[in-house]
A and B are shown apart, each in its own frame.
Chain A
Amino acid sequence: MTQQRDTIAHYQTPEGIELSLSLAGPIVRGVAWLIDFAIRIVCYIVLAIFLKWLGGVGGGLMLIGLFLIEWFYPVFFEVRNGMTPGKKVMGVKVVHDDGTPVSWTASLLRNLIRPIDLLPICNIAGFIAMLLNSRFKRLGDFAAGTIVVYVRDEIRVFSIPEYPSCPAPMPLLLAEQRLILDFCERTEKLSRERRQELALLLRDLTGRKEPENRLLAYGNWFLKGKASR
C-alpha cells in the first residue's frame, strides 16, 4: 500500500463504492473557531445590554444564556446542517467518519470534550492532536467519531480554456484524464514555452505540432465530449 500524502479521506460504503471526502486542516478550522469565538463575544455583549434592564431576573437569564452559549452554541448549529457560522464562512462542515450528517450524540460529545482541546491555552492540545493523525481530528473528534470536511470540493469543477475538442488517439485511464485536465487548468498561468515543454513530455499522445493545444483539445473532449468541437 502506498502511503497517503494528500488530505482526502476514503470511506468504503456497504454498496462497495469508495467515497472521498476532503479534510479541513488545522488552520482553516482555527480560523472558523476564531470567527465563532467573535460571534459568541458579540452575543454576550448583546445579551448583557438587553438583560441589564430586567434587574435580578435579567441577571439570572444572563447566566443561563452564558451557560447555553458557552456549551451548546456549536451543537445547535451542527445538528442542523453540520456548520457553525464560522465553519460556514470557511466552507467546512462536521460529518461522521462515514460521511453522514452529524448526530446529536456526536455533536454533544465533540463539544463537551472541547475544554480538553483548549488546554493549556489557545487550543494547543487540540492543535497537536490534529497534527498527529492523518484525519486532522482533535480529541473531541476521536471520541465522537467525526471529521471536518470541505463542502465545496464534493464535486470538483474543472475550468479550462475553450478549445475545439477532439478525442485522444488512445483510451486513457481516469487518473490520466485528470492529469491532462490539471494541466489544462494551469496553462494560462504558464509561459508558452513552458507549456510546450511540459506538453512534449507526452509526445506519443500529442505529436510534435502544437502539443499544448492538442492537450487542450483532449481536455475539452473529456469535459464536454463532441459538444465543443
Chain B
Amino acid sequence: MNQSLFEHTYQDQWEQFRLFIESMEAKPTGRIAVNIPIEEFPRRYRKLCNHYGLAKARHYSPALVDSLHGLVLRGHRQLYRKKTRPVWAAVTFIARDFPRTLRQHLFAFWLSFALFYIPLAGAGLAAYQNPTLLYSLMEEGKVASMESMYHPESGRFGRTEKQRSESDFQMFGYYIFNNISIGFRTFAGGMVFGLGSVFALLYNGVMIGGVAGYLSHPPYGPIFWQFVLGHGALELTAIVISGAAGLLLGASIIRPGRYRRLDSLRLQAPVALRLVMGAAAMFLGAAFIEAFWSSCNLPEAAKYVFAGCNWALVILYFLFAGRRMT
C-alpha cells in the first residue's frame, strides 16, 4: 500500500479519533460529547498505534508520521491518565489509609519517636534541674517573652505580649503557617539521606523539651501545662509522623533493596507523602485547638480532661482506624 492510499483509507478514522480526544481533553472529568462509544476507545487507540507503527516502518513522509505521533501521544495521555477523586480520596484517606500506612511503617515511626522524645526528655529534665541551661539554647529576650506568655497574670496566656492584642483567628493563621510548614520541611529534609529530618527532629525535641523543663517551675508550671497538653496530642504526634515520613524517604535512598536507588525513591515517596499529608491534617486540628481552646480561661480540670481525651483519641485512632477490610 502506498502512502496516499494509506492516508485515503484511514483519514476518516483519524479525524474521528482526533475529535474524540479533543472532547476528552476539554472535559477531563465530566461527560464527554461522544462520537466514539467510550468502550471503543482503547481498541481505537491501539488501531491508531498500529497505523503509526506502520507509517514509521514504511518510511512514509515525516508530515504524516509526525501528525500520527501527535495523535498517539494525546491518546496515550487520556488512556493512561491517573484518575483521582480528591474529595472522596480525602475521606477514605483519613478514615482508613493514613492510620494503615503508619501501622505498616512502625519502625520509621518509632525511630522518629525516639529521635524526637529522647532529646525532648533529656533537655526537659536538664532544664528542670538547672533552669539557666535554657539560656544556652535561646537568647534572653526570647526566654522573657516565653515567661510572659505563661505568667498567671497575663490574661490571655500562651501569647507573647505583642500577640495578646491579636485575635484568636490571627493566631490560628499563624499556627497553620508556622507549624505545617515545619512539618513539610521536616519531610523534605528526608531527601538528604534522611539527615534533614533527623536534624529537625533532634532540634525541635531539644527546644521543646528545654522550654517545657524551664517553664515547669512555678509560677508558670500549671498554666504552661494546661495550655500545651490540649493540642500537644495532635501537634507532637504530627511532628513525629512528619519525621517518620522524611526518614522513609531517606531510607529508600540509603537502603534501596533490590531496586536502583532512584527507583526505590520513586516507589517509596508516595507512601511517605501519605504520612506527611496525614500529619498536615493533624497540624491543622492542633492549630484549631491551640488558637480557640488552649488559650481560654477555663477551669484547670476541664483542660486536663480535654487533654486526656485528646491523647486517648489519637492513640485509639492509630491503633484501630481502618482495621476492617472494606
Chain A residues with CB under 8 Å of chain B are 13, 15-17, 19-21, 55-57, 59-64, 66-67, 70-71, 95-96, 98-101, 103-105, 108-109, 112-116, 139, 142-145, 154-156, 158, 171-174, 177-178, 181, 221-226
Measured between beta carbons, the chain B residues less than 8 angstroms from A64 are 172-173, 176-177
A113 touching B49, Cβ below 8 Å: no
- Nearest residue, chain B, Cβ from A19: B73
B77 touching A172, Cβ below 8 Å: no
Residue from the list B63, B192, B249, B270 in contact with A105, Cβ < 8 A = B270
A16 touching B167, Cβ below 8 Å: no
B173 touching A155, Cβ below 8 Å: no
Interface bits B163-181 vs A (CB < 8 Å: 1, else 0): 0001101111110110011
- Nearest residue, chain A, Cβ from B262: A142
B59 touching A19, Cβ below 8 Å: no
B46 touching A15, Cβ below 8 Å: yes
B191 touching A113, Cβ below 8 Å: yes
B326 close to chain A: CB less than 8 A: no
Residue from the list B45, B73, B89, B184 in contact with A154, Cβ < 8 A = B73
Measured between beta carbons, the chain B residues less than 8 angstroms from A116 are 188-189, 191-192, 196
Interface bits B239-276 vs A (CB < 8 Å: 1, else 0): 00000000001000000000000100110011001001
Interface bits B65-90 vs A (CB < 8 Å: 1, else 0): 11101101110110011101010010
Which 8 pairs of residues, A with B, have the shortest CB-CB distance? A56-B167, A63-B173, A60-B173, A155-B70, A60-B169, A143-B269, A15-B49, A59-B170
- Nearest residue, chain B, Cβ from A103: B82
Measured between beta carbons, the chain B residues less than 8 angstroms from A144 are 266, 269
B176 touching A177, Cβ below 8 Å: no
B187 touching A178, Cβ below 8 Å: no
A100 touching B76, Cβ below 8 Å: yes
Q: A100-B77, A103-B84, A112-B184 are in contact. Are A143 and B61 (CB under 8 A)?
A: no
Q: Cα distance A227–B189 when bound, in Å?
A: 61
Q: How many residues of B contact A (CB 8 A)?
A: 60
Residue from the list A13, A112, A142, A172 in contact with B266, Cβ < 8 A = A142
Q: A63-B170, A143-B249, A181-B62 are in contact. Are A71 and B77 (CB under 8 A)?
A: no
User: What are some 16 contacts across the A-B interface (CB < 8 A)?
Assistant: A64-B173, A67-B180, A71-B184, A98-B80, A100-B82, A101-B28, A104-B86, A104-B89, A109-B269, A109-B273, A115-B188, A116-B192, A145-B266, A156-B62, A172-B59, A177-B62
Measured between beta carbons, the chain A residues less than 8 angstroms from B166 are 56, 59
Measured between beta carbons, the chain B residues less than 8 angstroms from A114 are 188
A143 touching B266, Cβ below 8 Å: yes
Residue from the list B84, B172, B177, B265 in contact with A104, Cβ < 8 A = B84
B3 close to chain A: CB less than 8 A: yes
B4 close to chain A: CB less than 8 A: yes
Q: A19-B72, A67-B176, A103-B82 given. 20 additional CB < 8 A pairs? A: A13-B49, A16-B53, A57-B167, A57-B169, A59-B169, A60-B170, A60-B171, A60-B173, A71-B184, A101-B81, A112-B184, A116-B191, A143-B191, A143-B265, A143-B266, A154-B74, A178-B62, A224-B63, A225-B3, A225-B61
Residue from the list B60, B76, B82 in contact with A19, Cβ < 8 A = B76
Measured between beta carbons, the chain A residues less than 8 angstroms from B265 are 142-143
Interchain nearest-CB distance for A106 vs B (Å) = 8
B63 touching A158, Cβ below 8 Å: yes
B52 close to chain A: CB less than 8 A: yes
B105 close to chain A: CB less than 8 A: no
B100 close to chain A: CB less than 8 A: no
B84 touching A108, Cβ below 8 Å: no
A20 touching B177, Cβ below 8 Å: no
A222 touching B176, Cβ below 8 Å: no
8 A Cβ contacts from B105-138 to A? none
A112 touching B188, Cβ below 8 Å: yes
Measured between beta carbons, the chain B residues less than 8 angstroms from A71 are 180-181, 184
Measured between beta carbons, the chain B residues less than 8 angstroms from A13 are 49, 76, 80
Interface bits B9-32 vs A (CB < 8 Å: 1, else 0): 000000000000000000010000
Q: Cα distance A15–B185 when bound, in Å?
A: 41
Measured between beta carbons, the chain A residues less than 8 angstroms from B45 are 15
B56 close to chain A: CB less than 8 A: yes
Q: Cα distance A98–B266 when bound, in Å?
A: 13
B211 close to chain A: CB less than 8 A: no
- Nearest residue, chain B, Cβ from A54: B169
Measured between beta carbons, the chain A residues less than 8 angstroms from B4 are 225-226
Interchain nearest-CB distance for A16 vs B (Å) = 7
Q: Cα distance A96–B89 when bound, in Å?
A: 20
Q: A59-B166, A59-B170, A173-B59 are in contact. Are A67 and B177 (CB under 8 A)?
A: yes
Q: Cα distance A171–B58 when bound, in Å?
A: 10
B170 touching A57, Cβ below 8 Å: yes
- Nearest residue, chain B, Cβ from A172: B59
